[in-house]
Amino acid sequence: MKCSRVLSFLLFTTCGISQPVFAHGAKIDYQQTSAIVVRATFDDGTPMANAQAIVYSPNDLDTPWTKGVTDESGKFTFVPESGLSGNWDVKIRKSGHGKIISIPFEIQKQVVEVNSPIANKDQSLPVVSESDPTVNSAYSWQQKMIMSVSITWGFLGTALFFFRKQT
Amino acid sequence: MLKIIDRKSVFKILCAFLFLVVGCNSTDKTEKNITFKETAAEKQGTLLVVANGEDFVRNGFITKDGWEIDFTKLRVSLGNVVAYQTETSFDPDQDQAINSKLAIPITKEIKVVDLTQEIGSKNLTPQNLTIVKKIMVPVGLYRAISWEMLPTNDFGFEAQTIFLQGNAMKNGKKINFELGLSVPTKYICGEFIGENRKGIVTKDKSTELEMTFHFDHLFGDNNLPSDDELNLGALGFQPLAELATIGNLRLDWQELQQKLDSADVEKLTQAIAGLGHVGEGHCKAISL
């Protein structure tokens, strides 16, 4: 047991696109996905290879969304469920040591235009670190006030222009 | 028309609009506060704060230097236990402080708990964890906990934070020991790390929030290689055994500091700093 070793996490996001391949009598479609890659190491840099990985989704904190094992370099990759934005918690543990990390994840609605009968299902695809206006639309009251004044002044200015004194 | 809407009138209209905007925002804040209070009052669940000495304490173990330890009492003095709800996980190795949205004081006064209670005790959970306190708290995920080990006179010694009583055997030699340790420490920890998740309070189901004590950090573990970091940092029992008189060892922290060499005192102090865990998760230790 490596008692004083402290785990550290490195977080990567990948956007994998499998390219279409054309062959006789076959069709291959591609699906764009965003994956989250977590890398766990001890504090001396040693990868946490073959460690248990447990993922919890934002809408069920109690039941693991998926479980798996890290690879030789301590990496564990998963693709968050489309439509579930929020904090995805990933727990990595091995030999009596472990840690948990919260990964913020937001949804951006995209439609992939592909000439394929299978793809292009108008499904929302998860993209990490890109804000969706429908999800993250919380302006401060100062911003709202400035916007309101600007809009009002636009109307007033236009009205005053038309009712200006004729010389 | 221009006479009606002159510059002063425009200014007045703008001022009125500004007041209106500010007023509307104030109303929003009030409504949010009311909603929070209603939520806190209506949605509560049971939080069972527990202390776990693990199998090392409950079943005994063999130290790194071959002493077979069996505890009859292992008491710790706890104070200022606080449970925290946070938006995201707290990492005691990286984060400076717990950024909590809710902090619930569990015990402000000192509470002494025994980590070696017999199975069947009413102070144990079904998993044989020592109950520190059962408390109703707002529902949510409690991702962090902090507690202090504070001096008490309850152990038969003066102002000690930990009391260990038991016997140690090696090569037919038996030593009965009573040891007091006094290293007041605050432990700041994140979420429980284990197979299952703990700290999720719901309205209908009680949940545990665990303080874990790794006493193998003090004595080492014979099942691990001698060069394992845990064993390298542990004192073991041999330095203590050498202080025994006719099979008996009864010393408090002040006496231990005088009789052990300074390197062993430092090793023991560091081991106590590493005592507090949350399952397999490490804690930040602050000397008080």
| CATH classification at residue A112 | 2.60.40.10
Contacts B25 to A, Cβ<8 Å = 141, 144-145
Residue B140: what pLDDT?
93
Question: In the A/B pair of chains, how many CB contacts fall below 8 A?
Answer: 91
Note down the domain range covering A74.
8-130
* A156/B280 CB distance under 8 A: no
Tally Cβ neighbours within 10 Å of residue A108: 18
| Six-digit token string for A71 | 């690879």
Kindly determine whether residue B280 and residue A3, on different chains, have CB atoms separated by under 8 Å.
no
* A60 touching chain B per CB within 8 A: no
pLDDT number for residue A132: 35
CB contacts of A2 in chain B (<8 Å) are: 228-230
In chain A, the percentage of residues whose pLDDT exceeds 90 is 33
How remote is the C-alpha of B124 from its chain's centroid? 17
The SS3 assignment for B8 reads helix
The answer to whether residue A39 sits within a structural domain is yes
**Regions of chain B short of the pLDDT cut 50:** 1-2, 20-39
C-alpha distance from A27 to closest chain B C-alpha (Å) = 43
**CB pair distance less than 8 Å for A1 and B5:** no
B21 touches chain A (CB under 8 A): yes
Q: Is A87 near chain B, with CB under 8 Å?
A: yes
Of A2, A100, A149, the CB nearest to B17: A149
User: What residue spans define the domains of chain B?
Assistant: 7-42, 44-287
Q: Is residue A49 part of a domain?
A: yes
**Predicted local confidence at residue A109, as pLDDT:** 52
Asked if residue A144 has pLDDT above 90, the reply is no
Which of A69, A3, A66 lies closest to A40 in space, CA to CA? A69
Residue B152 near residue B160 (C-beta atoms within 8 A): yes
**Confidence band (pLDDT; 50, 70, 90) for A166?**
low
Whether B166 contacts B69, CB under 8 Å:
yes
| Pairwise CA distance, residues B106 & A149, whole Å | 49
The pLDDT tens digits of the residues spanning A93-139 come to 998 889 999 999 886 654 444 343 333 333 333 333 333 333 334 57
Residues of A in contact with B204 (CB under 8 A): none
**Reported ipTM:** 0.77
Say if A2 falls within a structural domain. no
B56-66 burial string, b = 16+ CB within 10 Å, else e? bbbebbbbbbe
Average pLDDT, chain A: 73
pLDDT digits (tens, 9 = 90+) for A19-43: 544 556 777 777 666 789 999 998 8
Q: CB-based burial of residue B202 (10 Å sphere; 0-12 exposed, 13-18 middle, 19+ buried)? A: middle
- Residue A26 carries which DSSP code? B
* pLDDT value of position A167: 57
* Residue of B21, B190, B228 lying closest to A1 (CB–CB): B228
- Cα–Cα distance measured from residue B144 to residue B86, given in angstroms and rounded to the nearest whole number: 7
Distance from CA of A17 to the nearest CA of B (A): 30
Q: Is A153 helix (H, G, I), strand (E, B) or coil?
A: helix
Q: Is residue A71 part of a domain?
A: yes
Domains of chain A: total: 1
Identify the three-state secondary structure at position B209. strand
